[in-house]
């Protein structure tokens, strides 16, 4: 297959996937309300929910609504925080948890309507942090480490210094990484904001189906994907890659 045919097939495939998902303007996506936690996993996710400070780029937005409609995102051109300084309907943080090598891993992920990589960029951008604890229960656990999506790979701390923790909440900063030439996460002493949390098991089937598709993945030149980090087919691989111990 020549390059022209490959590009045409890739564009057609991407368009076909997106055609199956209805779109909502990035500032009109209705976030999920944070529910009363019931399971140990949900209670731990609420307990360790991080704070997020924004030093660079967009503020986080909801990615998907209960009926499965997805954010349309934003064109990446223009100011890095253009039209994305916060949703009037409220924001969202997503979480998914699992055991990995005898540590309880809680991934927290934030969606941004656009991302920039140097002189290029794309719609849809994700940043995430993984809080590692020694138990799935909220009443008998403690923070053992944290991993963050970095400019390249993951930044890790085992455990994070106390100046980066407020009670049971790790303080994170979304900043410009010169190494990756893009937005990334780092630990910070600055206090940030929290968003309504929705766990993977609390999402509707329609919302999970959309997140598991390619509809909210960012694409750079059709070869480098910024994927939803907690979707079914990559979640455990992200835990493996980010394991800090």
DSSP the chain: --HHHHHHHHHHHHHHHHHTS-EE-TTTPPPPPPPPP-SHHHHHHHHTPPEEEESSSPPPB--B-TTS-EE----S-S-TTTT-S--TT---EEEEEEEETTEEEEEEEEEEEEEEETTEEEEEEEEEEEEEES-SSSSS--EEEEEEE-SSSEEEESSPPGGGEETTEEEEEEEEETTTTEEEEEE-SS--B---EEEGGGS-HHHHHHHHSSTT-EEETTTEEE--TTSTTTHHHHHHHH---
Mean pLDDT along residues 54-63 = 98
Q: Is the pLDDT score of 5 beyond 50? A: no
Instruction: State the pLDDT at residue 9.
Output: 38
pLDDT tens, 131-177?
999 999 999 999 999 999 999 999 999 999 999 999 999 999 999 99
Domain map (residue ranges) of the chain: 3-242
Q: Is the pLDDT score of 241 beyond 50? A: yes
Mean pLDDT along residues 211-223 = 81
Confidence of residue 15 (pLDDT cuts 50, 70, 90): very low
Instruction: State the pLDDT at residue 217.
Output: 95
pLDDT tens, 49-58?
999 999 999 9
Task: Tell me how far apart the alpha carbons of residues 30 and 64 are, in angstroms, rounded to a whole number.
Answer: 8
Q: Is the pLDDT score of 74 beyond 90? A: yes
DSSP 62-92: --B-TTS-EE----S-S-TTTT-S--TT---
Q: Is the pLDDT score of 223 beyond 70? A: no
pLDDT tens, 100-127?
999 999 999 999 999 988 788 999 999 9
The answer to whether 80 and 174 have CB atoms below 8 angstroms apart is no
Instruction: State the pLDDT at residue 221.
Output: 55
Instruction: State the pLDDT at residue 180.
Output: 87
């Amino acid at each position: 297959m020549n390059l022209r045919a490959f590009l045409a097939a890739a564009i057609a495939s991407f368009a076909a996937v997106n055609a199956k998902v209805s779109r909502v303007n990035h500032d009109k996506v209705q976030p999920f309300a944070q529910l009363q936690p019931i399971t140990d996993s949900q209670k731990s996710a609420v307990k360790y929910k991080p704070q997020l400070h924004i030093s660079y780029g967009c503020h986080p937005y909801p990615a998907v609504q209960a009926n499965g409609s997805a954010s349309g995102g934003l064109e990446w051109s223009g100011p890095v925080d253009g039209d994305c300084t916060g949703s009037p309907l409220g924001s969202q943080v997503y979480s998914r948890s699992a055991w990995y090598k005898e540590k309880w891993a809680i991934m927290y992920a934030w969606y941004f309507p656009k991302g920039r990589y140097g002189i290029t960029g794309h719609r849809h951008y994700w940043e995430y942090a993984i809080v590692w604890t020694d138990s799935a229960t909220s009443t008998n656990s403690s923070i053992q480490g944290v991993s963050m999506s970095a400019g390249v790979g993951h930044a890790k701390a085992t455990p994070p210094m106390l100046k980066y923790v407020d009670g049971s909440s790790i303080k994170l900063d979304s900043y410009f990484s010169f190494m990756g030439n893009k937005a990334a996460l780092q630990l910070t002493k600055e206090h940030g904001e929290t968003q309504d949390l929705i766990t993977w098991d609390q999402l509707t089937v329609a919302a999970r189906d959309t997140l598991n598709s390619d509809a909210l993945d960012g694409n750079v030149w059709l070869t480098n994907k910024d994927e939803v980090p907690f979707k079914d087919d990559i979640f455990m691989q992200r835990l493996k890659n980010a394991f800090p111990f």
